[in-house]
Amino acid sequence: MKLKLIRIMALIIGVIASIIVELFVEGGILFMGILTILLIGIIVSYFKYPKKVKLLGNISLAVGVLGSFIGLASAFIFIQQVGDVSPSVLAGGLKVAFISTMYGLVIYIFSLGLELIKR
22-74 pLDDT tens trace: 878 888 888 888 998 998 899 899 899 888 999 999 999 999 999 999 888 88
Helix axes 87-97, 99-118, angle to 10 degrees: 30
pLDDT at 11: 78
Helices (H), the chain: 2-26, 29-48, 53-82, 87-97, 99-118
pTM of the model: 0.79
Q: Decide if 32 contacts 24 (C-beta within 8 A).
A: yes
Domain count, the chain: 1
* pLDDT band with cut points at 50, 70 and 90 for residue 1: low
Q: Tell me how far apart the alpha carbons of residues 104 and 50 are, in angstroms, rounded to a whole number.
A: 19
Residues spanned by the domain of 52: 2-118
More confident residue, 50 or 12: 50
